[in-house]
């Protein structure tokens, strides 16, 4: 397919950590999908409510939107789980609306993408294996609860910075999953777009024996969904197998 006809997906990504997951995911779709990542500014790299709220502030998002507008993308996603759910469901939806209005294309956030992905899997109870501190992980469970999603287990790794999360290797991510599943959970969620997971989604699902939703995976899926370009693909977990 001619590159000019590729579906261009926009990702607004705070700072630097695991943004290379997006071109890796796009490679699964050959020349039909192009992933454009724009790095938004951050005040402080910290998983705290104050820092995350500022990270996801509308002025910072719109600054990134102005940079990505030249593509133009078919859809854009604010690629941060925590810097959208810390603002609550209304706050995350406000972020998405502001981006959509600024760019004139469908927009969402990673936190909202999790709700859509859980619905797509037709499950209602999930376990959460989070890299975040305990209080931030708890806010994610509350966010999921606004969509009627039950969380029988939520675990927190207690990592403060995205920079540290981005250094976790395959064996550590697989251990995070295996140690924090729950028998009542129909799927396992691993939030944090700072965490590399794109290359290990299949192994993660084999490890826990159920669907696994990781932050960069659901972000990419949401962008495709909003762009009307969803296709089944192997190696990207149950979410992409339909």
Running DSSP on this structure, what letter comes out for residue 41? P
Q: How far apart are CA 171 and CA 190, in angstroms?
A: 15
The whole-chain average pLDDT of the chain stands at: 94
Least confident of 40-44, 59-63, 192-196: 40-44
Q: How far apart are CA 90 and CA 2, in angstroms?
A: 40
Q: How far apart are CA 173 and CA 159, in angstroms?
A: 13
pTM for this entry: 0.95
Does residue 72 have a cis peptide bond before it, meaning omega lies within 30 degrees of 0?
yes
Residues 66, 41: contact at Cβ < 8 Å?
no
In this prediction, residue 4 carries a pLDDT of 55
**Domains parsed from the chain with CATH numbers:** 3-112+217-240 (3.40.50.12500), 117-214 (3.40.50.12500)
3-state secondary structure 109-159: EHHHHHHHHHHHHCCCEEEEEECCCHHHHHHHHHHHHCCCCEEEEEEECCC
Q: Tokens for 34, please give them.
A: 């192009």
Q: Tokens for 60, please give them.
A: 């910072």
Average pLDDT over residues 169-173: 95
Residues 188, 174: contact at Cβ < 8 Å?
no
Is residue 62 scored above 80 in pLDDT?
A: yes
For the segment 203-229, what is each residue's pLDDT rounded down to a tens digit? 999 999 999 999 999 999 999 999 999
Is residue 128 scored above 70 in pLDDT?
A: yes
Residues with Cβ within 8 Å of 196's Cβ and at least 6 positions away in sequence, in order, are 18, 20, 21, 166, 168, 173, 216
């Amino acid at each position: 397919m001619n590159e000019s006809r590729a579906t261009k997906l926009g990702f607004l990504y705070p700072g630097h950590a695991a943004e290379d997951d997006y071109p890796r995911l796009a490679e699964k779709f050959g020349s039909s999908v192009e992933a454009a990542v724009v790095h938004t500014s951050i005040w402080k790299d910290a998983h705290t409510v104050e820092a995350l709220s500022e990270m996801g502030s509308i002025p910072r998002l719109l600054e990134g939107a102005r940079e990505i507008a030249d593509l133009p993308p078919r859809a854009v996603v604010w690629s941060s789980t925590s810097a959208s759910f810390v603002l609550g469901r209304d706050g995350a939806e406000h972020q998405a609306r502001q981006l959509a209005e600024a760019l004139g294309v469908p927009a969402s956030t990673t936190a909202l993408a999790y709700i859509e992905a859980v619905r797509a899997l037709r499950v209602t109870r999930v376990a959460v294996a989070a890299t975040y501190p305990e209080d931030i992980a708890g806010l994610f469970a509350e966010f999921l609860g606004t969509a009627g999603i039950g969380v029988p287990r939520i675990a927190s790794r207690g990592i403060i910075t995205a920079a540290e999360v981005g250094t976790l290797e395959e064996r550590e991510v697989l251990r995070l999953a295996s140690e924090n599943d729950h028998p009542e959970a129909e799927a396992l969620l691993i939030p944090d777009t700072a965490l590399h997971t794109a290359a290990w989604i299949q192994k993660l699902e084999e490890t826990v024996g159920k669907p696994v939703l990781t932050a960069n995976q659901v972000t990419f899926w949401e962008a495709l969904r909003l762009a009307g370009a969803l296709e089944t693909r192997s190696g990207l977990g149950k979410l992409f197998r339909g």
